[in-house]
Structure 1
Amino acid sequence: MASPTTSRTAMRFLFRAAPAFRSKAPRTATRCLHEKATPITASLLQHRPTFRQWHQKMPSSGASLGRRTMFIQTEATPNPDALKFNPNQRVLPESISSQFLEYLTPRSTLAPPHPSPLAAKLLNIDGVSSVFFGADYITVIKDSATPWAHVKPEVFAIINEFMVSGQPIVNTVQDHAGESGQEGTELDSLAYDENDSEVIGMIKELLETRVRPAIQEDGGDIEFRGFHDGQVLLKLRGACRTCDSSTVTLKNGIESMLMHYIEEVKGVQQVMDQEEEIAMKEFAKFEEKLKQQKGPNAAPSTVGKGSLDYVEG
Structure 2
Amino acid sequence: MSVNIQLEWTPNPSTLKYVVDRRLVSSGAVNITSKEAAEEKSPLALKLMGIQGVTAVMVGSNFVTVTKGEQGEWDELNDAVMATLDEHLGAGLPAVNEDVLAAARAAAAAGGSGGSVETRIQEILDGEIRPAVAQDGGDITLDRFEDGIVYLHMKGACAGCPSSTATLKMGIESRLRELVPEVTEVVSV
TM-score by length of 1: 0.54
Alignment match, 1:240 = 158
Report 1:153-302 matches (<5 A). 153-171=79-97, 186-187=104-105, 195-271=113-189
Alignment match, 1:83 = 16
**1:173 shift after superposition:** 6.7
Question: Deviations 1:12-61 (Å, cap 9, x if unpaired)?
Answer: xxxxxxxxxxxxxxxxxxxxxxxxxxxxxxxxxxxxxxxxxxxxxxxxxx
Alignment match, 1:275 = none
1:141 paired to 2:90? no
- Residue segments in structure 1 that go unaligned for 5+ positions in a row: 1-66, 175-181, 272-313
C-alpha distance in 2 between matches for 1:209 and 1:196: 17
Moved over 4 A (4+): none
Alignment match, 1:64 = none
**1:203 shift after superposition:** 1.4
**1:223 shift after superposition:** 1.2
C-alpha distance in 1 between matches for 2:122 and 2:93: 35
Give the fraction of aligned pairs with identical amino acids, expressed as a percent.
37
- Pick from 124, 127, 130 the counterpart of residue 50 of structure 2: 124
1:74 paired to 2:3? no
Identify if the C-alpha distance between structure 1 residues 214 and 144 changes in structure 2 by more than 3 Å, giving closer, same or farther. farther
C-alpha distance in 1 between matches for 2:70 and 2:167: 21
**2:125–2:141 Cα contact (<8 Å) kept:** no
**1:145 shift after superposition:** 4.5
C-alpha distance in 2 between matches for 1:88 and 1:224: 28
Letter aligned with residue 129 of structure 1 = T
**2:24–2:94 Cα contact (<8 Å) kept:** no
C-alpha distance in 1 between matches for 2:158 and 2:9: 12
- Residue segments in structure 2 that go unaligned for 5+ positions in a row: none
C-alpha distance in 1 between matches for 2:89 and 2:152: 33
SS in 2 for 1:186: helix
**1:186 shift after superposition:** 3.3
Question: Which of the two has higher C-alpha Rg?
Answer: 1
Identify if the C-alpha distance between structure 1 residues 197 and 109 changes in structure 2 by more than 3 Å, giving closer, same or farther. closer
What CA RMSD, in Å, does the superposition of the two structures yield over aligned residues? Answer: 2.6
Number of corresponding residues? 187
1:150 paired to 2:76? yes
Say which structure is richer in strand.
2
TM-score by length of 2: 0.87
1:101 paired to 2:30? yes
**1:101–1:185 Cα contact (<8 Å) kept:** no
